[in-house]
């Protein structure tokens, strides 16, 4: 019974002067707190992406491109406009071994936390030119869309958009976007969750319950959308999720 509506109604009851009228949730934090450092961090991130860090970390651009579009093979995800907080966490997980990937673990172990943050902010700020992807398997896309929006009852899979947002456009800072991501990358990650190479309490169960065919379908659906135009407000916390140097995007 302990509910936040309790707060509303309780205040109404106990405090006649307390007002109870709807108001959209408004961001009220201080932009100035960390916003000033961001352009410098993004610059540092750009250098890392182009040159590596001289401590054994190779240039990120080799696989992910300067603009975060990666090489299109699907082995490497698109990083551009991905939530910096999410990217940052992945780097920490690679470094700790929580996310098991032979290539990325070695790279991440040689990055300082500051460098992880910088490169994450850099890629989040990129707006790559991506080729429009054609859809070869319309049946898979349709099935993928059904799973994305409705889920399935048995075996249990909740709708992807429950967490990843409408069209899989992400719920930053914590939940990554899927829309426009490479099909084979999404499929590969679902497989990694299924096999336990990538550990997440939610996605582990989903990876287990989705058939391989349905994983392919989900990947097909999301991959033929466009990557999102991140316009979320900054959030509090150690990882400042969004660049203050936002520019209008035409990526959708």
Partner 1 sequence: MPQKLKEVDVVIVGVGFAGAILGKELAAAGLRVVGLERGSLRLTVPDFQAPQIHDELKYSVRKALMQDVRKEAMTFRNSENQMALPIRNWEAFLPGTGLGGSGAHWNGQLWRYHATEFVYKSHLEARYGKNFIDPDLRIQDWGVRYEELEPHYDRFERLTGAGGKAGNLKGKIQPGGNPLESPREHEYPNPPMKEQFSGALFRKAATEMGYHPFIQPSANSSAPYTNPEGLTLNPCVYCGFCERFGCEQFAKASPQSVILPVLQKYSNFELRAGAQVLRVNLDSTRSKATGVTYMDANGHEFEQPAALVLVTAFALNNIRLLLLSGIGKPYDPRTEQGVVGRNYAYQTVSAVPLFFDEDTHLNSFMGAGASGTVIDDFNVDNFDHSKLGFIGGSFIVSGSSGARPIEFHPTPPGTPPWGAKWKEAVRKHYNHTAMLIQPATSSSARQNYADLDPTYRDAWGLPLLRITYDFTDNDLRMNRYITDRAAEIGRAMGARTVVNAPSRRPFTTTVYQTTHNTGGTVMGADRRTSVVNRYCQSWDVPNVFVVGASNYPQNSSYNPTGTLGALIYWTADALKKQYLKKPGPLA
Question: Which residues are at the interface with partner 1 (CB under 8 A)?
Answer: 1-15, 17-26, 28-29, 149-159, 161-163, 165-166, 201-202, 204-206, 209, 236
The least distance separating partner 1 from the CB of residue 140, rounded to whole angstroms, comes to 20
Q: Which lies closer to partner 1 via its Cβ, residue 5 or residue 54?
A: 5
Q: Which two tokens stand for residue 151?
A: 């889920």
Helix axes 201-209, 183-195, angle to 10 degrees: 100
Closest approach, Cβ 95 to partner 1, in A, equals: 23
Plot region of 97 (φ>0 → left; ψ -120 to 50 → alpha; else → beta): left
Least distance CB 178 / partner 1 (angstroms): 15
In the complex, minimum distance from the CB of residue 217 to partner 1, in angstroms, rounded to a whole number: 16
- Scored b (16 or more CB within 10 A) or e, 154-187 reads eeebeebbebbbebbbbbbbebbbbbbbbbebbb
Residue with tokens 């001289």: 54
Which ranges of 165-211 would DSSP assign to H, the alpha helix? 183-195, 201-209
Q: Which is nearer to partner 1, 35 or 151 (CB)?
A: 151
In the complex, minimum distance from the CB of residue 23 to partner 1, in angstroms, rounded to a whole number: 5
Cβ-count burial of 37 within 10 angstroms (0-12 exposed, 13-18 middle, 19+ buried)?
A: middle
Which is nearer to partner 1, 131 or 153 (by Cβ)? 153
33 Cβ partners below 8 Å, 6+ apart? none
Select 105 or 200, whichever has its Cβ closest to partner 1: 200
Q: Which is nearer to partner 1, 106 or 152 (CB)?
A: 152
Place of tokens 């709708």: 159
Q: Are 227 and 81 in contact (CB under 8 A)?
A: yes
Least distance from partner 1 to the Cβ atom of residue 198, Å? 14
Nearest residue (CB) to partner 1, 1 versus 132: 1
Q: Cβ closer to partner 1: 34 or 184?
A: 34
Residues with Cβ within 8 Å of 5's Cβ and at least 6 positions away in sequence, in order, are: none
The least CB distance from residue 135 to partner 1, in Å, is: 24
Give CA–CA dist 193/215, Å, rounded.
11
């Amino acid at each position: 019974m302990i509910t936040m509506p309790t707060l509303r109604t309780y205040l109404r009851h106990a405090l006649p002067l307390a007002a109870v009228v709807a108001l959209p949730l408004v961001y009220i934090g201080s932009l100035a707190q960390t916003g000033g450092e961001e352009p410098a961090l993004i610059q540092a991130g750009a250098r890392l992406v182009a040159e590596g860090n001289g401590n054994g970390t190779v240039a990120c651009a080799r696989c992910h491109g300067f603009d975060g579009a990666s090489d299109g093979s699907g082995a490497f995800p698109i990083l551009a406009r991905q939530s910096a907080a999410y990217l940052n966490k992945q780097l920490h997980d690679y470094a700790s071994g929580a996310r098991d990937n032979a290539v990325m673990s070695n790279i991440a172990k040689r990055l300082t936390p500051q460098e992880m943050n910088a490169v994450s902010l850099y890629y989040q700020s990129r707006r790559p030119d991506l080729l429009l992807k054609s859809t070869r398997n319309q049946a898979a896309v349709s099935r993928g869309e059904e799973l994305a929006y409705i889920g399935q009852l048995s075996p249990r899979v909740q709708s992807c958009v429950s967490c990843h947002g409408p069209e899989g456009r992400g719920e930053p800072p914590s939940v990554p976007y899927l829309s426009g991501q490479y099909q084979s990358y999404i499929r590969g990650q679902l497989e990694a969750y299924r096999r336990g190479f990538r550990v997440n309490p939610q996605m582990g169960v989903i990876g287990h319950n989705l058939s391989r065919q349905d994983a392919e379908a989900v990947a097909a659906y999301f991959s033929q959308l466009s990557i999102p135009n991140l316009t979320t407000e900054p959030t509090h916390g150690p990882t400042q999720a969004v660049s203050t140097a936002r520019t209008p995007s035409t990526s959708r």
